[in-house]
Amino acid sequence: MTARSAYHLLAKPAGAACNLGCRYCFFLSKENLYPAGERALMPDDVQEAHIRQLMESSFGPEIEVAWQGGEPMLRGLDFFRRSVALAEHYRPPGARVLHTIQTNGALIDDEWARFFKANNYLVGVSVDGPRDLHDAYRVDKQGRGSFDDVIRGWKALQRREVDANILCTIHAANEAHPLEVYRFFRDEMKARYIQLIPVVERATPETIALANRGWGGLRGSDRPLYTQTGSLVTDRSVKAGRFGQFLIAIFDEWVKRDVGRVFVVTFDVALGSWLGQHNSCIVSPTCGASLVMEHNGDVYSCDHYVEPDHRLGNVRETPLGALALSEKQRRFGDAKYETLPQYCRQCPVLFACYGECPRNRFVSTPDGEGGLNYLCEGYKAFFLHVDKPMRAMADLVRKGRYADEIMATAKAKASGGGAKA
C-alpha cells in the first residue's frame, strides 16, 4: 500500500543551473553535489516517477506540482507540457492539481505566459524592488542588472492575466528602503501577493572572504558547496534589527490601507499564529513537511538543507511517500522544537515564531546558550509591534467578520480620532 502524507515537495528540473548569477544565491553552489560537467536536466523517467509518486502519496483534495531552481524554465516548455499531461494522467479521482513555478522571470515571453494561463499556473517572480535595489545583487553571468528582463517577463504575465506573485529577498541593499520596495510592488507592478524572504548567508572564518565575493561571481572550484554552517554572515545579509524595521514599516502602511487587497505572506502567517494556527513551517513548533527533489531524483529534507547529511534517498529507489514519512525526516522535523534554547521557550512571542527556521539558529542567547536565531531581534520587535492589531484582526475573524475592518480603526488612530463602536 502506498504511504500517504501531508507534505510539500519542491522539484528542481534544471538543478542549480541558472541563467542569472545573483550574488547572494548560494544555491548555485549545489552543482558541486554532482559530477563536474553533468547536465543538470531532469530525465523523463525521473519526471514521471516524481509526478506519479506525488499523486499516489499526497494527502488532501489539492495536490501541488511545484517547480523551482536554479532556474526551472531552463528545462524547456515541452518538459512542462509533459508534466501537466502526466499530472492529469495520474491525478486521483476528485483531486485538483495546482501547478506552481518560482522563476527569476527573465525568460518569460508570450509563449510561456500563454502556457501558464492555459494551465492555471501560479507563477512566483523574484524581484527585489525598483531597478537600483533589484540590480544590486540580481545580476546576469556578466554582472549586468536583470531588472529590464524581469519586468518584461512580468508584463507578459500581466497581459495574459496569469496568476502571479512577487518574491522579494531582504538584504543589505534594500533593507533601509521598505516603503520604496512595497509601494513599487503595489503601485507600479500592481502586485497583490508578496513574499518577503530575509537573506542570511552563513560563513565560517575560512569561507567568509570567498563568500563575500558573491556566489554568482564564482566559478567551478572557486565556488565551494554552501552548507548551513558557521556563525558569520556575508556583507549582503540583512541585519537583524533592520529586518524587523523593514517588516514594521510595511505593516504600518498595510494595516491602514491594504488589508484584504494586498496579501503579504509574513502578515498572513502571523495572523494565523494569533488564531492558533501554524500556516508556515518556519513558525510551526516542528517542521519536516517541506521536502525538495533535485534533477536526478535525490530528495533532501528541506530546500535550505540540500547537502549530503540531509539526503533522504532517491525516487528511483524509494517512493516519495516513504521518504516523507521516514524516521530520518521525522527526527529532522522534531529537532526544530527540541533544540530551542530556554530563552526562546520563555519568550512572550514564542507562539508566533517557535525559533523560526533552524538554518538561522547560530548565535547565542543573552545568557550564552547557543541556538538563538540570528534574526531574533528583528522578529521579536515585529511581533511585539503588531500584537495589538493582530489580536483585533483575529477577534474579527473569530466572529465571522473580515480582517480588513481593522483599517477603519487604524486610520482613525492615525488621524488622532477615536475608533467607531
User: Catalytic residue numbers?
Assistant: 303
Reduced 3-state DSSP string for the chain: CCCCECCEEEECCCCCCCCECCCCCHHHHHHHHCCCCCCCCCCHHHHHHHHHHHHHHECCCEEEEEECCCCHHHHCHHHHHHHHHHHHHHCCCCCEEEEEEEECCCCCCHHHHHHHHHCCCEEEEECCCCHHHHCCCCEECCCCECHHHHHHHHHHHHHCCCEEEEEEEECCCCCCCHHHHHHHHHHHCCCCEEEEEECCCEECCCCHHHHHCCHHHCCHHHCCCCCCCCCEECCCCCCHHHHHHHHHHHHHHHHHHCCCCCEEHHHHHHHHHHCCCCCCHHHCCCCCCEEEECCCCEEECCHHHCCHHHEEEECCCCCHHHHHCCHHHHHHHHHHHHCCCHHHHCCCCHHHHCCCCHHHEEEECCCCCEEEECCHHHHHHHHHHHHHHHHHHHHHHHCCCCHHHHHHHHHHHHCCCCCCC
- Give the C-alpha separation, 83 to 73, whole Å: 13
- Give the C-alpha separation, 245 to 175, whole Å: 8
Query: Which cell numbers in the block locate residue 307?
Result: 547537502
